[in-house]
Amino acid sequence: MSRLYERISTAILEGEPEKAADLVQKGLDQGLVAKEILDNGMVVGMGEVGVRFKAGDMFVPEVLMSADAMQAGLYVLRPHLVASGVKLIGTIVMGTVKGDLHDIGKNLVNMMCEGSGFQVIDIGFNADPEKFIEAIKEHQPDVVGMSAMLTTTMRAMAHTIKAIEEAGLRDQVKIMVGGAPVDAAFAERIGADGYGSNAPAGSDLARKFVGAA
């Protein structure tokens, strides 16, 4: 690995947004290929974040700092990726379901998925079924992710999946669900395609859905 790729990876792992952005710009100035900066530096860094988070060696505040560093690097890199015609591995629509105002978990999944090469369309929290349906129609995603952090809002996941079915869109997307009160049995019961127990697991599941795992 190029020393610069390693430094980019470390800046993301250590949650240093300004450093990550500066190093990405330095790589571009040196003529490095945007896709290689993404794959060999940024994705490697977020991948290590996922490994450490799963192992209990990193905690949510630290992961959020790494997510900020990833975003800062992507802000610099994204125009160059678009200009070079790089295809992302897929598109995900993510939202916290109606009645639920929690979004930290969703945001962590978003960052892990972006770090894995997805375009993520975040429709926010307290998203009603119609908002999911509109986003599917507009963005034609491969995957739809739903988060619920309250037992009282879990049922909104089922209502949203049913609404997607009634809109004739269910066969177009894979649906994954997650959140503190959710488990695999519940996901199966409401007709979701899969369940992610945490942010790295959600990213892994999305990659599996698009054949990139």
pLDDT by residue for the chain (213 residues), tens digit each?
579 999 999 999 999 999 999 999 999 999 999 889 988 999 889 889 888 988 889 988 898 899 889 889 988 988 888 777 767 889 999 999 999 999 888 988 988 888 778 889 999 999 999 999 999 999 999 999 999 999 999 999 999 999 999 999 999 999 999 998 999 999 999 999 999 988 888 999 999 999 986
- How confident is the model at residue 207, as a pLDDT? 93
95 closest CA partner among 63, 136, 64: 136
Structure tokens at 123: 């429709």
- How confident is the model at residue 183, as a pLDDT? 95
The dihedral built from the CA positions of residue 105, 111, 115 and 116, taken in this order, carries a sign that is positive
- Domains in the chain, start-ordered, CATH in brackets? 3-83 (1.10.1240.10), 90-209 (3.40.50.280)
User: 159: phi > 0 → left, psi -120 to 50 → alpha, else beta; which?
Assistant: alpha
Q: Give first-to-last CA distance, the chain, whole Å.
A: 22
Structure tokens at 202: 């959600």
DSSP strand E in 97-200: where? 118-122, 143-147, 174-178, 194-196
CB 46 within 8 A of CB 64: no
What stretch of H or E contains 95? Answer: strand 90-96
- How confident is the model at residue 213, as a pLDDT? 66
Predicted TM-score (pTM) of this structure? 0.78
